[in-house]
Amino acid sequence: MFFVNGLPGQTSGVNYNKLTHPPSSSSSSSPSSSTLSDTSSILIIGSGVFGLGTAYALARRNGFTGSITVVDRSNPSCPDTFFAPDAASIDTSRIVRADYADSAYAALCDEAQEQWRKQENPSDLGAEGRYSEAGLLLVANGDGSSPTLAAAPPAAPDSKTIDKSKLTGMDYARMSWANVLALASQDPVLAERIRELPNPGAIRAASGTGCSSGSWGYINNNSGWANAEASMAWLLEQVKQTGRVNFIAGAVVSLEHEGTTVTGAKLSDGRVLSADLVMVAAGAWTGSLVDLHGQAIATGQIMGYVDLTEAEQERLGKMPVILNLSTGLFIIPPVNRVLKVARHAYGYVNPIELPVPPLPVSPQSTPAITLSIPRTSYTDPELEIPANGAAELRAALREMVPELQDRPFTKTRLCWYSDTRTADFLIDYHPFWQNLFVATGDSGHAFKFMPVIGNKIVDCLMRKCPAEFKGKWDWKGGDGRPLFTEDGSRGGKPGLILADELAKAEGVVPVAA
């Protein structure tokens, strides 16, 4: 084995083994099945949760002995090192919760949490501070009733029959409570650790911060948060230890194809990587390689970080995660004297004209060349957060940790989601291009599934999508409507254009990647 950019890798001059599978079509509509043969090769574009998770699962999947290559941008300050600092999962913290309005995702996170809770050995995922079960205080604004849902808890609604676009934050909260109760009916430990909070007084008492956010909610002490960057570093190390995965540092600018068959990817330095199956899992950057118009869109989400004193760390370190589903505002407990505040919102879009158009929906179609692409301090060192975003974060501090409402931000950030209309992931073969698989559409909630999502994606590669996600994860195509996520969990206003909001800014706050 030799090295590319300091990492174990292969160049396009290396002969890949062959992958045998039928012409690609949507897994939901194709009656054929696919088997990853012993002589297969796969190129995975992206080293986030979906990309690395898939590489790890493939490396451990019985019967798959082919080559696996992962290509992605590296850290510009250290070109031989993954990850790029503006990648979505390279951050201090992410919420880990089975608290979902959709029962399928609630059950999937419940499965993932079994791995997050393993902490006995330093090599366990949840060890060394990578996972903290601090609890989740989930609240919403309103009177505690659910006008959209005739059946309030404890009856969990069938998520397949719910129109997510009609949900409010209170609907989401009530449905989540119903699903948690359903899980608790099979789990005595969980049953002891959840409690309804029927009014603001109960919410304030549970928060431990003087929180005045929300009018109804509940606390789930079986949920918590993970150190995202440390967890991704753990996963990268697990992948390397398999000895099965080749890494190449480089920026992919386009997909290569012969006729209707995708054959590989071209890098910004001119190298071409060839493989028999190409999987694009580039997060919010996926749309720059594959035309996802009407299916997924990159949205920038605001995050802020506040430095604390040692005494504040000691006191606030015991708080739960606080998430208001009506506003999208949330706060994660501090660690190392830094507290994070953020908003899960419709976000900002950043429409630009691409120099190289993405692979079109079909060979006969014209790809969209103006689309939302992440804008970070990696590509724009002078980038600043919009003033309205800073004001929203300030409002969260005022509601959730009043003592910090005037504390200056030491750092802020735009984190880029790949948003789908219903917040469902997009994990499927491309219906028109052979040998192309897409795994994206994190919609800001994929990280928590890191321990289990790779195996689910490999199942989809085998055309065995888990039954509970059939229809949810399928390739759907666009219908011309404006695209923004409507699942009841988002705050703010849809369709805000980043450049326009920056132009309005006064007293802006610098953004860190």
Asked if residue 9 belongs to a domain, the reply is: no
Beta bridge partners of 456: none
Whole-number pLDDT of residue 4: 30
Show the 3-state SS of 138-155.
Answer: EEECCCCCCCCCCCCCCC
Spatial CB neighbours of 387, under 8 Å, sequence gap ≥ 6: 504, 505, 506, 507, 508
Q: Measured on CA atoms in the order 463, 165, 173, 420, is the torsion positive or negative? A: positive
d(CA 417, CA 440): 10
Under-50 pLDDT residues of the chain: 1-34, 38-39, 147-156, 507
Question: Is 450 part of any domain?
Answer: yes
Give the closest residue to 12 by CA, choosing from 275, 245, 272.
272
Say what the pTM is.
0.90
Please check whether residue 124 lies inside any domain of the structure: no
In a domain, 114, yes or no: no
Residue 276 domain-assigned (yes or no): yes
Q: Does some domain include residue 47?
A: yes
Residue in 123, 130, 427, 410 with CA at minimum distance from that of residue 281: 427
Nearest 5°: CA angle at 473, between 470 and 474?
80
pLDDT for 63 equals: 86
DSSP string of 471-498, one letter each residue = TTSS-----SS-----SS--BS-TTEEH
Q: What local confidence, expressed as pLDDT, does residue 164 receive?
A: 82
Residue 282 is predicted with a pLDDT of: 97
Parent domain of 437: 17-89+229-295+420-469
Q: Which of 81, 95, 106 is nearest to 131 (CA)?
A: 95
Give me the pLDDT at residue 369, please.
85
**Phi-psi category of 306—alpha, beta or left, where left has phi over 0 and alpha has psi -120 to 50?**
beta
Residue 154's alpha-carbon distances to 183, 216, 399, 423, in angstroms, are 11, 15, 29, 24
- How far is residue 351 CA from its own chain's centroid? 21
CA-to-CA dists, residue 308 to 7, 91, 313, 513, angstroms:
38, 18, 6, 21
CATH number of the domain within which 289 lies: 3.50.50.60
In a domain, 441, yes or no: yes
Residue 250 lies in a domain: yes
Task: Give how many domains the chain has, as a whole number.
Answer: 1
Rounded Cα distance, 368 and 290, in Å: 10
